[in-house]
Amino acid sequence: MSVNVRIVLVNTTHPGNIGGVARAMKNMKFESLYLVAPKKFPHANADARAAGATDLLESAVVHDTLEEAIADCHLVVGTSARGRHIPWPVVDPRELASIVSPIDEEKKIAVVFGREDRGLTNEELHLCHYHVHIPSNESFSSLNLAAAVQVITYELRMSSLYSDQNEEHKPQWGTNWDIDMASSADLERLFDHMEQTLVDIDFLDPENPRQLMPRLRRLYLRSFPDKVEVSVLRGILTATQKQLKKS
Whether residues 84 and 193 fall in one domain? no
* Per-residue confidence (pLDDT) for residue 166, from 0 to 100: 64
Whether residues 96 and 25 fall in one domain? yes
Final residue in a domain of this structure, among 108, 137, 165: 165
Residue 165's pLDDT band (cuts 50, 70, 90): low
Checking if the pLDDT of 3 tops 90, the result is no
Q: What are the pLDDT digits (tens) for 186-222? A: 999 999 999 999 999 999 999 999 999 999 999 999 9
Whether residues 134 and 24 fall in one domain? yes
Q: Exposed, middle or buried by CB within 10 Å (0-12, 13-18, 19+), for 241?
A: middle
Determine contact, residues 22/145, Cβ cutoff 8 Å: no
- What is the model's pTM? 0.93
* Per-residue confidence (pLDDT) for residue 50, from 0 to 100: 98
Residue 19's pLDDT band (cuts 50, 70, 90): very high
Mean pLDDT of the chain: 94
Residue 164's pLDDT band (cuts 50, 70, 90): low
Residue 207 lies in a domain: yes
Q: What are the pLDDT digits (tens) for 62-113? A: 999 999 999 999 999 999 876 667 899 999 999 999 999 889 888 999 999 9
**64-68, 141-145, 167-171: which has the highest mean pLDDT?**
64-68
Whether residues 84 and 188 fall in one domain? no
| Residues of the domain holding 224 | 184-246
Whether residues 104 and 221 fall in one domain? no
* Per-residue confidence (pLDDT) for residue 162, from 0 to 100: 82
Final residue in a domain of this structure, among 103, 136, 165: 165
Residue 22 lies in a domain: yes
Residue 177 lies in a domain: no
Residue 11 lies in a domain: yes
